[in-house]
């Protein structure tokens, strides 16, 4: 939007001193986005605005036109523009109060509706860190460049200035060292959050994550909990090469003693991180670098400091009846895009966002398969011994197997180290077109 247009919209709308033209003060509305030309009214003065909203407004996120009714005495009325079928016509009286109501309608703000806002995943994670640091003085963050530099991905922006060196700690480039510090601090009663610049580097600290963190509670007969969170970007990014692109969901999901979460949306990120910090078990939080800057609508409930996403519970992002698509992290968005295309062809896909890899919410997947009779798993990890393979095995071993009308299908990353070239990288990961093809194949259409 041009700066001048922004300035005009910010100007207060006040009636003019002169009473000759009592509609002049409403003229700025003609410059509002989506406003249309004048439509003849019933009398010679501007009396009301007709605001039309399409029946699919909430789905498409767009409103209809805003029309001013004026007519000179004796003038021939111009042809009226008809609202599309299914539209709702709202007549707003011309008054300051009516104008306020009009602006409320145009912006989609209603008194009874929740005050949702757009928040990207980066800011959602930052909010979660800030709220948990403020809530519990035992919580602290450590990792490479998390303090003065605000984090490699700016997740910890502003936290060092607010909480200081003792709670936002820059570390040397030694994953084994600072991960061991985090695990030891957790054993001593603190609640550390250990950030890896990428989970590929967690391999440098695998002994601390597995042998020290995940096994201690069991080996101590439940006497020594290890409430530590290991978090950072996981999986493919964009042209960063094989050593920075691996998905570790199956690796860590294989290990008893760990909880493993994988957020997709801003609400997922905030709620899962807060729940992970409060959990008494070591939690691995697998984020995705490409999702950090993606905005999502965050509900009024999710904006609360008490908002948590329960670990171990999946979310049905889209209801459907023909096929179940199960995914996690960035691939959830691909599934929703594919479902939006397929619905135009009469295919209703149910999309399940796992949110948690371990413990997996098998019950939600089974309930969906019983309804749709078809199952497709989508992930960015390698095909052998992956998350999708585990889901298919659990369905085969459970009661939902008898409801399948076709074999379950897995869509995974290619069974090769991630190439550097962009086109090769894209071909190594499931894309929307691949999901559409798999759905049509499993449904035999």
| Catalytically active residues, by annotation | 175, 244
Angle between helices 121-135 and 266-278 (to 10 degrees): 30
d(CA 318, CA 413): 24
d(CA 88, CA 37): 19
Quick one: DSSP state of residue 76?
A: P
Contact predicate 430/383, CB 8 Å: no
- Report the 3 state secondary structure along 363-414: HHHHHHHHHHCCEEEECCCCCCCCHHHHHHHHHHHCHHHHHCCCCCEEECCC
d(CA 208, CA 199): 14
Helix (H, G, I), strand (E, B) or coil at 349: strand
Which segments within 214-355 are labelled E, that is strand? 229-233, 259-261, 283-287, 295-298, 315-318, 323-327, 349-353
Which residue(s) pair with 349 in the sheet? 323
Contact predicate 277/229, CB 8 Å: yes
Contact predicate 302/132, CB 8 Å: no
**HSE (side-chain half, CA atoms, 13 Å) at 174:** 8
Nearest to 102 by CA among 66, 73, 143, 126: 66
Query: Residue written as tokens 């695990």?
Result: 183
d(CA 297, CA 113): 14
Residue 43 C-alpha from the chain's centroid: 50
Rounded alpha-carbon distances, angstroms, from residue 298 to 115, 117, 355:
9, 5, 16
* Tokens found for residue 377: 């798993």
Name every residue whose Cβ is closer than 8 Å to that of residue 120 and which is 6 or more positions away in sequence. 266, 292, 293, 294, 295, 296
Which residue(s) pair with 51 in the sheet? 66, 90
Helix (H, G, I), strand (E, B) or coil at 112: coil
């Amino acid at each position: 939007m041009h700066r001048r247009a922004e300035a005009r919209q910010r100007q207060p709308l006040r009636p003019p001193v002169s009473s000759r033209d009592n509609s002049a003060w409403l003229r700025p509305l003609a410059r509002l986005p989506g406003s249309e030309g004048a439509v003849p009214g019933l009398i010679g003065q501007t009396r009301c605005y007709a605001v039309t909203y399409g029946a699919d407004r909430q789905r498409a996120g767009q409103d209809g036109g805003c029309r001013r009714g004026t007519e000179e005495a004796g003038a021939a009325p111009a042809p009226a523009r008809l609202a599309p079928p299914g539209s709702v016509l709202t007549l707003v009286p011309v008054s300051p109060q009516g104008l306020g109501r009009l602006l409320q309608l145009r912006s989609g703000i209603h008194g009874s509706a929740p005050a949702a806002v757009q928040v990207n995943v980066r800011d959602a994670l930052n909010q979660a860190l800030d709220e948990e640091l403020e809530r519990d003085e035992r919580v602290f963050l450590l990792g490479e460049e998390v303090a003065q530099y605000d984090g490699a991905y700016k997740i910890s922006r502003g936290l060092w200035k607010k909480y200081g060196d003792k709670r936002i700690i820059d570390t040397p480039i030694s994953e084994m060292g600072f991960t061991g510090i985090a695990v030891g601090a957790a054993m001593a009663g603190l609640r550390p959050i250990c950030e890896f610049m990428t989970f590929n580097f967690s391999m440098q600290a695998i002994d601390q994550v597995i042998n020290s963190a995940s096994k201690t509670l069991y080996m101590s007969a439940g006497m020594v909990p290890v409430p530590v969170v290991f978090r950072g970007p996981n999986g493919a990014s964009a042209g960063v090469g094989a050593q920075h692109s691996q998905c570790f969901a199956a690796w860590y999901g294989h290990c008893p003693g760990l909880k493993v979460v994988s957020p997709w949306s801003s609400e997922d990120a905030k709620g899962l991180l807060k729940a992970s910090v409060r959990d008494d078990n070591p939690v691995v939080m697998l984020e995705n670098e490409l999702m950090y800057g993606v905005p999502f609508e965050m509900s009024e409930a999710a904006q609360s400091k008490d908002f948590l996403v329960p670990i171990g519970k999946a979310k049905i992002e889209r209801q459907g009846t023909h096929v179940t698509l199960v995914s996690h992290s960035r691939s959830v968005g691909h599934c929703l895009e594919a479902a939006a295309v397929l619905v135009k062809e009469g295919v209703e896909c149910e999309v399940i966002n796992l949110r948690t890899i371990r413990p997996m919410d098998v019950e939600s997947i089974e309930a969906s398969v019983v309804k749709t009779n078809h199952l497709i798993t989508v992930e960015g990890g390698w095909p052998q011994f992956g998350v999708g393979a585990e889901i298919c095995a659990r369905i085969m071993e459970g009661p939902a197997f008898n409801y399948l009308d076709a074999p379950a299908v897995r869509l995974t990353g290619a069974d090769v180290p991630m190439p550097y070239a962009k086109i090769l990288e894209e071909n190594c990961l499931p894309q929307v077109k691949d999901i559409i093809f798999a759905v049509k194949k499993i449904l035999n259409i």
